[in-house]
Amino acid sequence: MQQSLTDNTTYEEYGVRRSQRPVLMKRAQFAFVAVLVLLDIACTWVAFYAGWWLLDRNPDVIIGPFQEFWPLPTVYTALLVGISSSSACTSVAGP
């Protein structure tokens, strides 16, 4: 007779308890959302820095140092995170 390493009653109890709390995300879902937000923020800042760097290298364009340019990506990042976290597009809809 084969014996299971896990107790099935605790697994079934977990499913029941989990279905009673549908609002909470699982750890993997939370980690995915956190990584997605951090990746969005990093890509936004890299894109703005790359744009500033390219403009800085062009002799026809006069642009100040990045310290003067940083409010633009800051506002854009805040809006990106705020809109994406409050949008219904971020929730997973079932079929």
Q: Which amino acid is at 69?
A: F
Structure tokens at 4: 């299971």
pLDDT at 54: 93
What pTM was computed for the model? 0.63
pLDDT at 69: 84
pLDDT at 13: 72
What is the Cβ-side half-sphere exposure of residue 9, based on CA atoms within 13 angstroms? 0
Which ranges of the chain have pLDDT less than 50?
none
